[in-house]
Structure 1
Amino acid sequence: MNRLHNKIAIITGAASGQGAAEARRFVEEGAKVVITDLNEVDGKALADQLGDSAIFVSHDVSDEASWQRVVEQCLAAFGGIDILVNNAGIYRQKSLAETDQALMDLHYRVNVLGAFFGMKAVHPVMKAHDGGAIVNISSIAALRGSPGLFAYAGSKWMVRGMTKSAAQDLAQDKIRVNTVLPGLIDTPMLAGNAPEYLEEIKQMVPFKRLGAPEEIADAVVYLASDESRYVTGAEITVCGGMSA
Protein backbone atom coordinates (compact mmCIF):
# COMPACT_ATOMS: atom_id res chain seq x y z
CA MET A 1 0.00 0.00 0.00
CA ASN A 2 2.87 2.39 -0.76
CA ARG A 3 2.52 2.93 -4.49
CA LEU A 4 2.40 6.71 -3.94
CA HIS A 5 4.78 6.89 -0.99
CA ASN A 6 6.00 10.47 -0.41
CA LYS A 7 4.04 11.78 -3.42
CA ILE A 8 2.14 15.07 -3.12
CA ALA A 9 -1.08 15.39 -5.10
CA ILE A 10 -3.75 17.92 -5.96
CA ILE A 11 -7.15 16.39 -6.78
CA THR A 12 -9.89 18.72 -7.98
CA GLY A 13 -13.59 18.11 -7.46
CA ALA A 14 -12.65 15.76 -4.65
CA ALA A 15 -15.37 16.49 -2.09
CA SER A 16 -17.51 13.61 -3.36
CA GLY A 17 -17.88 10.92 -6.01
CA GLN A 18 -14.85 9.91 -8.06
CA GLY A 19 -12.64 12.63 -6.63
CA ALA A 20 -13.31 11.57 -3.05
CA ALA A 21 -12.58 7.95 -3.94
CA GLU A 22 -9.32 9.03 -5.54
CA ALA A 23 -8.32 11.08 -2.49
CA ARG A 24 -8.95 8.13 -0.16
CA ARG A 25 -6.96 5.74 -2.35
CA PHE A 26 -4.09 8.19 -2.68
CA VAL A 27 -3.79 8.51 1.09
CA GLU A 28 -4.00 4.72 1.47
CA GLU A 29 -1.12 4.47 -1.00
CA GLY A 30 1.05 6.87 0.99
CA ALA A 31 0.39 10.24 -0.69
CA LYS A 32 -0.29 13.67 0.77
CA VAL A 33 -3.37 15.16 -0.86
CA VAL A 34 -4.82 18.60 -1.42
CA ILE A 35 -8.57 18.17 -1.86
CA THR A 36 -10.15 21.01 -3.83
CA ASP A 37 -13.81 21.73 -4.48
CA LEU A 38 -16.50 24.39 -4.23
CA ASN A 39 -18.34 22.06 -1.82
CA GLU A 40 -16.68 23.21 1.40
CA VAL A 41 -18.77 21.13 3.81
CA ASP A 42 -18.02 17.73 2.27
CA GLY A 43 -14.49 18.71 1.28
CA LYS A 44 -13.53 19.72 4.81
CA ALA A 45 -15.20 16.63 6.24
CA LEU A 46 -13.20 14.34 3.94
CA ALA A 47 -9.94 16.11 4.77
CA ASP A 48 -10.71 15.70 8.48
CA GLN A 49 -11.33 11.97 7.94
CA LEU A 50 -7.98 11.60 6.18
CA GLY A 51 -6.07 13.36 8.95
CA ASP A 52 -2.63 14.88 8.54
CA SER A 53 -2.28 13.43 5.04
CA ALA A 54 -4.86 15.80 3.52
CA ILE A 55 -5.97 19.41 3.49
CA PHE A 56 -8.98 21.03 1.88
CA VAL A 57 -8.81 24.17 -0.27
CA SER A 58 -11.94 25.88 -1.58
CA HIS A 59 -11.38 26.19 -5.31
CA ASP A 60 -13.11 27.29 -8.50
CA VAL A 61 -11.25 25.48 -11.27
CA SER A 62 -12.51 27.97 -13.86
CA ASP A 63 -10.70 30.84 -12.10
CA GLU A 64 -6.98 31.05 -12.90
CA ALA A 65 -6.22 33.08 -9.76
CA SER A 66 -7.85 30.38 -7.65
CA TRP A 67 -5.39 27.88 -9.12
CA GLN A 68 -2.46 29.96 -7.94
CA ARG A 69 -3.86 29.89 -4.40
CA VAL A 70 -4.17 26.10 -4.55
CA VAL A 71 -0.56 25.74 -5.67
CA GLU A 72 0.65 28.11 -2.95
CA GLN A 73 -1.27 26.28 -0.23
CA CYS A 74 -0.07 22.90 -1.46
CA LEU A 75 3.55 24.07 -1.34
CA ALA A 76 3.07 25.62 2.09
CA ALA A 77 1.48 22.47 3.51
CA PHE A 78 3.52 19.72 1.86
CA GLY A 79 6.48 21.31 0.08
CA GLY A 80 5.93 20.19 -3.50
CA ILE A 81 3.60 18.90 -6.21
CA ASP A 82 4.16 15.51 -7.83
CA ILE A 83 0.67 14.74 -9.14
CA LEU A 84 -2.31 16.66 -10.47
CA VAL A 85 -5.66 14.97 -11.07
CA ASN A 86 -8.00 17.21 -13.06
CA ASN A 87 -11.15 15.51 -11.87
CA ALA A 88 -13.59 18.41 -11.43
CA GLY A 89 -16.31 18.59 -14.05
CA ILE A 90 -19.95 19.27 -14.79
CA TYR A 91 -22.49 17.22 -16.73
CA ARG A 92 -25.77 18.50 -18.17
CA GLN A 93 -28.03 16.43 -20.41
CA LYS A 94 -28.99 18.65 -23.34
CA SER A 95 -29.17 18.02 -27.07
CA LEU A 96 -27.79 20.43 -29.66
CA ALA A 97 -31.22 22.05 -30.09
CA GLU A 98 -31.56 22.52 -26.32
CA THR A 99 -28.05 23.88 -25.78
CA ASP A 100 -27.51 27.62 -25.58
CA GLN A 101 -24.37 29.71 -25.33
CA ALA A 102 -24.54 29.86 -21.54
CA LEU A 103 -24.49 26.07 -21.26
CA MET A 104 -21.64 25.80 -23.75
CA ASP A 105 -19.68 28.44 -21.84
CA LEU A 106 -20.26 26.65 -18.53
CA HIS A 107 -18.95 23.31 -19.81
CA TYR A 108 -16.02 25.02 -21.48
CA ARG A 109 -15.03 26.99 -18.37
CA VAL A 110 -15.24 24.08 -15.95
CA ASN A 111 -14.31 21.02 -18.00
CA VAL A 112 -11.84 22.56 -20.45
CA LEU A 113 -10.37 25.72 -18.91
CA GLY A 114 -10.29 23.99 -15.51
CA ALA A 115 -7.95 21.31 -16.84
CA PHE A 116 -5.94 23.85 -18.85
CA PHE A 117 -5.42 26.20 -15.90
CA GLY A 118 -4.45 23.24 -13.72
CA MET A 119 -1.77 22.00 -16.09
CA LYS A 120 -0.39 25.52 -16.50
CA ALA A 121 -0.34 26.10 -12.73
CA VAL A 122 1.57 22.96 -11.76
CA HIS A 123 3.95 22.89 -14.73
CA PRO A 124 6.63 25.25 -13.30
CA VAL A 125 6.67 23.43 -9.95
CA MET A 126 6.89 19.97 -11.50
CA LYS A 127 9.56 21.11 -13.95
CA ALA A 128 11.68 22.52 -11.14
CA HIS A 129 11.36 19.28 -9.16
CA ASP A 130 12.36 16.86 -11.96
CA GLY A 131 8.94 15.95 -13.28
CA GLY A 132 5.53 14.71 -12.27
CA ALA A 133 2.30 13.13 -13.43
CA ILE A 134 -0.92 14.75 -14.61
CA VAL A 135 -4.11 12.72 -14.99
CA ASN A 136 -7.01 14.36 -16.81
CA ILE A 137 -10.47 12.86 -16.43
CA SER A 138 -12.38 12.74 -19.72
CA SER A 139 -15.31 10.43 -20.54
CA ILE A 140 -16.32 7.68 -22.93
CA ALA A 141 -18.67 10.37 -24.31
CA ALA A 142 -15.46 11.67 -25.90
CA LEU A 143 -14.99 8.50 -27.93
CA ARG A 144 -18.11 8.55 -30.08
CA GLY A 145 -21.24 10.54 -30.82
CA SER A 146 -23.23 11.09 -27.65
CA PRO A 147 -26.89 12.02 -28.24
CA GLY A 148 -28.29 14.44 -25.67
CA LEU A 149 -24.87 15.39 -24.29
CA PHE A 150 -23.79 18.02 -26.78
CA ALA A 151 -21.87 20.48 -24.55
CA TYR A 152 -20.58 17.83 -22.15
CA ALA A 153 -19.28 15.49 -24.84
CA GLY A 154 -17.72 18.35 -26.77
CA SER A 155 -15.84 19.54 -23.70
CA LYS A 156 -14.56 16.05 -22.93
CA TRP A 157 -13.29 15.66 -26.51
CA MET A 158 -11.26 18.81 -25.89
CA VAL A 159 -9.81 17.30 -22.71
CA ARG A 160 -8.60 14.34 -24.77
CA GLY A 161 -6.98 16.63 -27.32
CA MET A 162 -5.31 18.83 -24.72
CA THR A 163 -3.92 15.77 -22.97
CA LYS A 164 -2.35 14.41 -26.15
CA SER A 165 -0.72 17.76 -26.92
CA ALA A 166 0.41 18.37 -23.34
CA ALA A 167 2.01 14.92 -23.24
CA GLN A 168 4.18 15.95 -26.19
CA ASP A 169 4.96 19.44 -24.88
CA LEU A 170 5.82 18.41 -21.32
CA ALA A 171 7.79 15.23 -22.00
CA GLN A 172 11.00 17.27 -22.12
CA ASP A 173 10.30 18.32 -18.53
CA LYS A 174 9.72 14.71 -17.41
CA ILE A 175 6.02 15.38 -16.86
CA ARG A 176 3.67 12.61 -17.95
CA VAL A 177 0.12 13.51 -19.02
CA ASN A 178 -2.52 10.81 -19.41
CA THR A 179 -6.29 10.47 -19.55
CA VAL A 180 -8.85 8.27 -17.82
CA LEU A 181 -12.17 7.94 -19.63
CA PRO A 182 -14.89 6.74 -17.24
CA GLY A 183 -18.11 5.18 -18.41
CA LEU A 184 -21.34 5.21 -16.43
CA ILE A 185 -20.18 5.56 -12.82
CA ASP A 186 -22.38 5.46 -9.72
CA THR A 187 -21.74 8.99 -8.44
CA PRO A 188 -23.88 12.01 -7.47
CA MET A 189 -23.49 13.19 -11.08
CA LEU A 190 -25.82 10.40 -12.22
CA ALA A 191 -27.96 10.32 -9.08
CA GLY A 192 -30.32 13.03 -10.37
CA ASN A 193 -31.65 10.75 -13.09
CA ALA A 194 -34.89 8.81 -12.72
CA PRO A 195 -34.54 5.18 -11.52
CA GLU A 196 -36.04 3.86 -14.76
CA TYR A 197 -33.46 5.80 -16.78
CA LEU A 198 -30.63 4.43 -14.64
CA GLU A 199 -31.92 0.91 -15.22
CA GLU A 200 -32.12 1.60 -18.94
CA ILE A 201 -28.55 2.83 -19.19
CA LYS A 202 -27.24 -0.13 -17.19
CA GLN A 203 -28.45 -2.32 -20.03
CA MET A 204 -26.16 -0.40 -22.40
CA VAL A 205 -23.14 -1.66 -20.44
CA PRO A 206 -21.80 -5.12 -21.33
CA PHE A 207 -21.20 -5.73 -17.60
CA LYS A 208 -24.84 -4.71 -16.91
CA ARG A 209 -23.97 -2.47 -14.00
CA LEU A 210 -22.71 1.00 -13.20
CA GLY A 211 -19.06 1.36 -12.32
CA ALA A 212 -17.93 2.24 -8.80
CA PRO A 213 -15.89 5.40 -8.09
CA GLU A 214 -13.19 3.18 -6.61
CA GLU A 215 -12.73 1.53 -10.01
CA ILE A 216 -11.82 4.91 -11.48
CA ALA A 217 -9.48 5.54 -8.56
CA ASP A 218 -7.62 2.31 -9.35
CA ALA A 219 -6.79 3.54 -12.86
CA VAL A 220 -5.80 6.99 -11.62
CA VAL A 221 -3.44 5.52 -9.02
CA TYR A 222 -1.69 3.51 -11.73
CA LEU A 223 -1.17 6.58 -13.96
CA ALA A 224 -0.03 8.69 -10.99
CA SER A 225 2.46 6.10 -9.74
CA ASP A 226 5.94 5.20 -10.92
CA GLU A 227 4.49 1.96 -12.31
CA SER A 228 3.50 4.02 -15.37
CA ARG A 229 6.82 5.87 -15.62
CA TYR A 230 7.08 5.15 -19.37
CA VAL A 231 3.43 5.96 -20.10
CA THR A 232 2.37 9.36 -21.44
CA GLY A 233 -0.34 10.48 -23.84
CA ALA A 234 -2.26 7.29 -23.03
CA GLU A 235 -5.99 6.81 -22.57
CA ILE A 236 -7.47 4.25 -20.19
CA THR A 237 -11.19 3.52 -20.54
CA VAL A 238 -12.95 2.32 -17.39
CA CYS A 239 -16.42 1.65 -18.73
CA GLY A 240 -17.46 -2.00 -18.35
CA GLY A 241 -16.89 -2.63 -22.05
CA MET A 242 -18.91 0.25 -23.51
CA SER A 243 -15.97 1.41 -25.62
CA ALA A 244 -15.25 -2.03 -27.06
Structure 2
Amino acid sequence: MKYAFVTGSTAGIGLAITQKLLNEDCFVFVNFAHDEDNARVAGEALSEISSKYCIIKADMSNIEGVDIACEMIIKQCPQLDYLILNSYATDKSDFKQVSLVQWQHVMDSNVSMPFFLMQRLYDHMAESGSVVCMGAMMGIYPHAISISYGVSKAALHMLCQSMVKVYASKKIRINAVCPGFVDTPAQIGKAPDHRQRIESKIALNRFAEPFEIADFCYSVLMNSYINGAVIPVCGGYDMA
Protein backbone atom coordinates (compact mmCIF):
# COMPACT_ATOMS: atom_id res chain seq x y z
CA MET A 1 0.00 0.00 0.00
CA LYS A 2 1.15 3.53 -0.77
CA TYR A 3 0.91 6.21 1.93
CA ALA A 4 0.37 9.93 1.29
CA PHE A 5 0.17 13.06 3.42
CA VAL A 6 -1.72 16.06 2.06
CA THR A 7 -1.56 19.22 4.15
CA GLY A 8 -4.59 21.50 4.21
CA SER A 9 -6.78 18.81 2.73
CA THR A 10 -10.36 19.13 3.98
CA ALA A 11 -11.45 21.65 1.34
CA GLY A 12 -10.65 22.94 -2.12
CA ILE A 13 -7.63 21.61 -4.00
CA GLY A 14 -6.35 19.63 -1.02
CA LEU A 15 -9.63 17.75 -0.67
CA ALA A 16 -9.69 17.03 -4.42
CA ILE A 17 -6.13 15.65 -4.24
CA THR A 18 -7.11 13.47 -1.29
CA GLN A 19 -10.12 12.13 -3.17
CA LYS A 20 -7.95 11.34 -6.18
CA LEU A 21 -5.41 9.48 -4.04
CA LEU A 22 -8.13 7.48 -2.29
CA ASN A 23 -9.60 6.55 -5.67
CA GLU A 24 -6.13 5.27 -6.58
CA ASP A 25 -6.11 3.06 -3.47
CA CYS A 26 -3.64 5.08 -1.40
CA PHE A 27 -3.87 5.51 2.34
CA VAL A 28 -4.06 9.26 2.94
CA PHE A 29 -3.24 11.30 6.02
CA VAL A 30 -5.67 14.21 5.77
CA ASN A 31 -4.96 17.48 7.55
CA PHE A 32 -6.78 20.52 8.87
CA ALA A 33 -5.94 23.26 11.35
CA HIS A 34 -9.07 24.67 12.98
CA ASP A 35 -12.40 24.12 11.23
CA GLU A 36 -13.94 21.06 12.90
CA ASP A 37 -17.23 21.31 11.00
CA ASN A 38 -15.46 21.44 7.66
CA ALA A 39 -13.33 18.46 8.64
CA ARG A 40 -16.43 16.48 9.60
CA VAL A 41 -18.09 17.20 6.25
CA ALA A 42 -14.90 16.28 4.42
CA GLY A 43 -14.66 13.04 6.37
CA GLU A 44 -18.20 12.13 5.36
CA ALA A 45 -17.36 12.73 1.71
CA LEU A 46 -14.13 10.75 1.91
CA SER A 47 -15.79 7.80 3.64
CA GLU A 48 -17.94 7.33 0.53
CA ILE A 49 -14.75 6.61 -1.42
CA SER A 50 -12.62 4.63 1.03
CA SER A 51 -11.88 3.98 4.68
CA LYS A 52 -8.12 4.29 4.06
CA TYR A 53 -7.57 7.69 5.59
CA CYS A 54 -6.74 9.34 8.89
CA ILE A 55 -7.62 12.95 9.67
CA ILE A 56 -4.97 14.87 11.62
CA LYS A 57 -5.75 18.14 13.34
CA ALA A 58 -2.50 20.11 13.24
CA ASP A 59 -1.79 23.71 12.33
CA MET A 60 0.79 23.71 9.52
CA SER A 61 1.67 27.37 10.15
CA ASN A 62 3.78 26.59 13.21
CA ILE A 63 6.41 24.09 14.26
CA GLU A 64 4.20 22.57 16.97
CA GLY A 65 1.65 21.57 14.35
CA VAL A 66 4.35 20.16 12.11
CA ASP A 67 5.68 18.05 14.99
CA ILE A 68 2.20 16.73 15.85
CA ALA A 69 1.53 15.65 12.27
CA CYS A 70 4.95 14.08 11.78
CA GLU A 71 4.74 12.11 15.01
CA MET A 72 1.37 10.63 14.04
CA ILE A 73 2.50 9.75 10.53
CA ILE A 74 5.74 8.13 11.63
CA LYS A 75 3.86 6.03 14.19
CA GLN A 76 1.07 4.93 11.84
CA CYS A 77 2.75 4.04 8.56
CA PRO A 78 5.93 2.13 7.63
CA GLN A 79 7.03 4.82 5.16
CA LEU A 80 5.58 7.81 3.37
CA ASP A 81 5.45 7.57 -0.42
CA TYR A 82 3.85 10.89 -1.34
CA LEU A 83 3.99 14.29 0.33
CA ILE A 84 1.76 17.09 -0.98
CA LEU A 85 2.44 20.49 0.58
CA ASN A 86 -0.86 22.22 -0.02
CA SER A 87 -1.69 24.29 3.08
CA TYR A 88 -1.09 28.02 2.79
CA ALA A 89 -1.86 31.44 4.20
CA THR A 90 -2.45 34.80 2.57
CA ASP A 91 -2.87 38.37 3.76
CA LYS A 92 -4.69 41.05 1.77
CA SER A 93 -4.08 43.89 4.18
CA ASP A 94 -3.24 47.28 2.73
CA PHE A 95 0.51 47.62 2.13
CA LYS A 96 0.90 50.29 4.82
CA GLN A 97 -1.02 48.23 7.35
CA VAL A 98 0.89 44.94 7.06
CA SER A 99 2.48 44.07 10.41
CA LEU A 100 5.54 41.94 11.06
CA VAL A 101 3.29 39.31 12.65
CA GLN A 102 1.08 39.13 9.55
CA TRP A 103 4.07 38.98 7.20
CA GLN A 104 5.76 36.28 9.28
CA HIS A 105 2.59 34.17 9.45
CA VAL A 106 2.40 33.99 5.65
CA MET A 107 6.11 33.20 5.36
CA ASP A 108 5.91 30.54 8.05
CA SER A 109 2.85 28.92 6.49
CA ASN A 110 4.05 28.96 2.88
CA VAL A 111 7.82 28.51 3.13
CA SER A 112 9.27 27.83 6.58
CA MET A 113 6.93 25.06 7.73
CA PRO A 114 7.08 23.21 4.39
CA PHE A 115 10.87 23.18 4.82
CA PHE A 116 10.69 21.81 8.36
CA LEU A 117 8.01 19.29 7.39
CA MET A 118 10.30 17.92 4.68
CA GLN A 119 13.16 17.91 7.19
CA ARG A 120 11.17 16.04 9.84
CA LEU A 121 9.85 13.45 7.36
CA TYR A 122 13.03 12.97 5.34
CA ASP A 123 14.09 9.72 7.01
CA HIS A 124 10.55 8.35 6.77
CA MET A 125 10.15 9.05 3.05
CA ALA A 126 10.23 5.98 0.83
CA GLU A 127 12.95 5.47 -1.76
CA SER A 128 11.71 6.77 -5.13
CA GLY A 129 8.93 8.69 -3.38
CA SER A 130 7.50 11.94 -4.69
CA VAL A 131 6.81 15.42 -3.28
CA VAL A 132 4.56 18.09 -4.74
CA CYS A 133 4.76 21.67 -3.49
CA MET A 134 1.60 23.62 -4.27
CA GLY A 135 3.02 26.79 -5.74
CA ALA A 136 1.04 29.53 -7.45
CA MET A 137 0.94 31.67 -10.56
CA MET A 138 1.15 34.63 -8.18
CA GLY A 139 4.62 33.41 -7.31
CA ILE A 140 5.53 33.80 -11.00
CA TYR A 141 3.64 36.98 -11.90
CA PRO A 142 3.99 39.97 -9.55
CA HIS A 143 0.71 40.68 -7.79
CA ALA A 144 0.15 43.61 -5.43
CA ILE A 145 -3.05 42.32 -3.77
CA SER A 146 -1.02 40.16 -1.38
CA ILE A 147 2.69 40.86 -1.66
CA SER A 148 3.53 38.41 1.13
CA TYR A 149 1.64 35.62 -0.65
CA GLY A 150 3.40 36.19 -3.98
CA VAL A 151 6.84 36.50 -2.40
CA SER A 152 6.32 33.41 -0.26
CA LYS A 153 5.15 31.32 -3.20
CA ALA A 154 8.13 32.43 -5.27
CA ALA A 155 10.32 31.34 -2.35
CA LEU A 156 8.48 28.01 -2.21
CA HIS A 157 9.28 27.45 -5.89
CA MET A 158 12.98 28.00 -5.13
CA LEU A 159 12.78 25.78 -2.05
CA CYS A 160 11.34 23.04 -4.24
CA GLN A 161 14.22 23.29 -6.71
CA SER A 162 16.78 23.56 -3.92
CA MET A 163 15.52 20.28 -2.45
CA VAL A 164 16.25 18.29 -5.61
CA LYS A 165 19.85 17.56 -4.61
CA VAL A 166 18.85 16.90 -1.01
CA TYR A 167 16.41 14.20 -2.14
CA ALA A 168 18.60 12.81 -4.93
CA SER A 169 20.30 10.13 -2.83
CA LYS A 170 16.89 8.60 -2.07
CA LYS A 171 15.69 9.06 -5.68
CA ILE A 172 12.81 11.18 -4.38
CA ARG A 173 11.41 13.59 -6.94
CA ILE A 174 10.08 17.02 -5.99
CA ASN A 175 8.12 19.43 -8.16
CA ALA A 176 6.03 22.58 -7.76
CA VAL A 177 2.57 22.69 -9.33
CA CYS A 178 1.40 26.28 -9.80
CA PRO A 179 -2.35 26.69 -10.23
CA GLY A 180 -3.89 29.88 -11.49
CA PHE A 181 -7.46 30.63 -10.43
CA VAL A 182 -9.40 27.62 -9.19
CA ASP A 183 -13.04 27.31 -8.12
CA THR A 184 -12.29 26.75 -4.46
CA PRO A 185 -14.58 28.19 -1.74
CA ALA A 186 -12.38 31.30 -1.53
CA GLN A 187 -12.74 32.02 -5.23
CA ILE A 188 -16.40 31.09 -5.60
CA GLY A 189 -17.25 33.89 -3.16
CA LYS A 190 -15.77 36.60 -5.39
CA ALA A 191 -18.18 39.17 -6.84
CA PRO A 192 -19.34 38.30 -10.38
CA ASP A 193 -17.73 41.36 -11.95
CA HIS A 194 -14.43 40.50 -10.22
CA ARG A 195 -14.59 36.94 -11.53
CA GLN A 196 -15.31 38.22 -15.03
CA ARG A 197 -12.23 40.46 -14.94
CA ILE A 198 -10.11 37.48 -13.96
CA GLU A 199 -11.69 35.21 -16.58
CA SER A 200 -10.98 37.79 -19.27
CA LYS A 201 -7.25 37.32 -18.55
CA ILE A 202 -7.43 33.53 -18.97
CA ALA A 203 -7.27 32.10 -22.50
CA LEU A 204 -9.78 29.38 -21.57
CA ASN A 205 -12.09 32.07 -20.09
CA ARG A 206 -12.83 30.10 -16.93
CA PHE A 207 -11.52 29.11 -13.54
CA ALA A 208 -10.11 25.60 -13.10
CA GLU A 209 -12.06 22.92 -11.28
CA PRO A 210 -10.28 21.48 -8.22
CA PHE A 211 -10.32 17.99 -9.74
CA GLU A 212 -8.37 19.26 -12.76
CA ILE A 213 -5.56 20.42 -10.49
CA ALA A 214 -5.77 17.20 -8.48
CA ASP A 215 -5.53 15.04 -11.60
CA PHE A 216 -2.44 16.95 -12.71
CA CYS A 217 -0.82 16.69 -9.28
CA TYR A 218 -1.36 12.94 -9.37
CA SER A 219 0.23 12.69 -12.81
CA VAL A 220 3.26 14.61 -11.49
CA LEU A 221 3.48 12.32 -8.46
CA MET A 222 3.46 9.28 -10.74
CA ASN A 223 5.82 10.49 -13.46
CA SER A 224 9.25 8.98 -12.89
CA TYR A 225 11.24 11.67 -14.72
CA ILE A 226 9.71 15.03 -13.81
CA ASN A 227 11.99 16.52 -11.18
CA GLY A 228 12.73 20.06 -10.04
CA ALA A 229 10.03 21.52 -12.27
CA VAL A 230 7.90 24.58 -11.55
CA ILE A 231 4.81 23.93 -13.63
CA PRO A 232 2.03 26.46 -14.35
CA VAL A 233 -1.49 25.02 -14.58
CA CYS A 234 -3.42 28.17 -15.36
CA GLY A 235 -5.56 27.80 -18.46
CA GLY A 236 -3.40 30.31 -20.30
CA TYR A 237 -3.41 33.09 -17.70
CA ASP A 238 -2.16 36.40 -19.06
CA MET A 239 -2.30 35.00 -22.60
CA ALA A 240 -5.87 35.92 -23.49
TM-score, length-scaled by structure 2: 0.90
In 2, are the aligned partners of 1:95 and 1:150 still within 8 Å (CA)? Answer: no
Deviations 1:157-200 (A, max 9, x none): 11001001011221122211110000011112223432221121
Question: Structure 2 vs 1, CA of residues 58 and 208 (structure 1 numbering), >3 Å: closer, same or farther?
Answer: same
SS at match of 1:83: strand
Deviates more, 1:183-192 or 1:155-164: 183-192
1:46 equivalent in alignment to 2:42: yes
- Alpha-carbon distance in 1 for matches of 2:172, 2:234: 26
Pairwise CA distance, 1:113: 1.7
1:24 equivalent in alignment to 2:24: no
Q: Which residue of structure 2 lines up, in the alignment, with residue 220 of structure 1?
A: 217
- Alpha-carbon distance in 1 for matches of 2:123, 2:238: 35
Pairwise CA distance, 1:98: 4.5
Q: CA RMSD in A?
A: 1.8
Pick the aligned partner of 1:188 from 185, 190, 206: 185
In 2, are the aligned partners of 1:62 and 1:117 still within 8 Å (CA)? Answer: no
1:12 maps to amino acid: T
Deviates more, 1:113-122 or 1:214-223: 113-122
The residue correspondences of 1:146-161 to structure 2 (distance < 5 A) are: 146-161=143-158
- Alpha-carbon distance in 2 for matches of 1:243, 1:200: 12
- Alpha-carbon distance in 1 for matches of 2:127, 2:173: 11
Pick the aligned partner of 1:208 from 178, 185, 205: 205
Deviations 1:93-114 (A, max 9, x none): 3454443323211211111122
- Alpha-carbon distance in 2 for matches of 1:190, 1:75: 35
Question: Structure 2 vs 1, CA of residues 119 and 61 (structure 1 numbering), >3 Å: closer, same or farther?
Answer: same
Deviations 1:69-114 (A, max 9, x none): 2223224433321111000012333454443323211211111122
Q: Which residue of structure 2 lines up, in the alignment, with residue 10 of structure 1?
A: 5
In 1, are the aligned partners of 2:74 and 2:124 still within 8 Å (CA)? Answer: no
Pick the aligned partner of 1:232 from 197, 206, 227: 227
1:35 equivalent in alignment to 2:34: no
- Alpha-carbon distance in 1 for matches of 2:86, 2:21: 14
Deviates more, 1:85-94 or 1:37-46: 37-46
1:74 equivalent in alignment to 2:69: no
2:158 maps to amino acid: G
Pairwise CA distance, 1:35: 0.4
- Alpha-carbon distance in 2 for matches of 1:72, 1:46: 23
In 2, are the aligned partners of 1:88 and 1:110 still within 8 Å (CA)? Answer: yes
* Structure 2 unaligned regions, length at least 5: none
Count of equivalent residues: 235
Deviates more, 1:115-124 or 1:28-37: 115-124
Q: Which residue of structure 1 lines up, in the alignment, with residue 237 of structure 2?
A: 242
Q: Which residue of structure 1 lines up, in the alignment, with residue 101 of structure 2?
A: 102
Q: Percent identity?
A: 24
Pairwise CA distance, 1:11: 0.3
SS at match of 1:43: helix
- Alpha-carbon distance in 2 for matches of 1:194, 1:172: 48
Q: Which residue of structure 2 lines up, in the alignment, with residue 3 of structure 1?
A: none
- Alpha-carbon distance in 2 for matches of 1:92, 1:27: 32
- Alpha-carbon distance in 2 for matches of 1:158, 1:95: 22
- Alpha-carbon distance in 2 for matches of 1:71, 1:130: 18
